[in-house]
Amino acid sequence: MSTMFKTGEFFVRLRVQGERPKLTIWNHNGTKIISEFISSTTPNFWVQIAKLTSQDVVDQVQSLLQNEK
């Protein structure tokens, strides 16, 4: 699965290939903010993503990951 969406000022791609989903986020200028595999995350991981982007980005990505299971 590969999903791209825009939320607020951010473009998000969630690519699930096998066991290791990969999250890539760009800002409205096209600058890559984060590109990380998210196979085993901690609450702190999501806090950091929210600080770099927004809570809306975190909520949407987590929702997509839940739907994949």
pLDDT band, residue 17 (cuts 50/70/90)? confident
The DSSP output letter for 42 is -
The CA distance from 19 to 41, in Å, is: 13
Element (H, E) at 3: strand 2-7
Q: What is the mean pLDDT of residues 22-42?
A: 90
Average pLDDT of every residue of the chain? 90
pTM for the model: 0.86
Q: Which amino acid is at 51?
A: K
pLDDT band, residue 69 (cuts 50/70/90)? low
What value, to the nearest 5°, has the Cα angle with vertex 46 and ends 50 and 6? 50
- The residue extents of the domains of the chain are 2-68
The CA distance from 64 to 68, in Å, is: 6
Interval 41-65: pLDDT, tens: 788 899 999 999 999 999 999 998 8
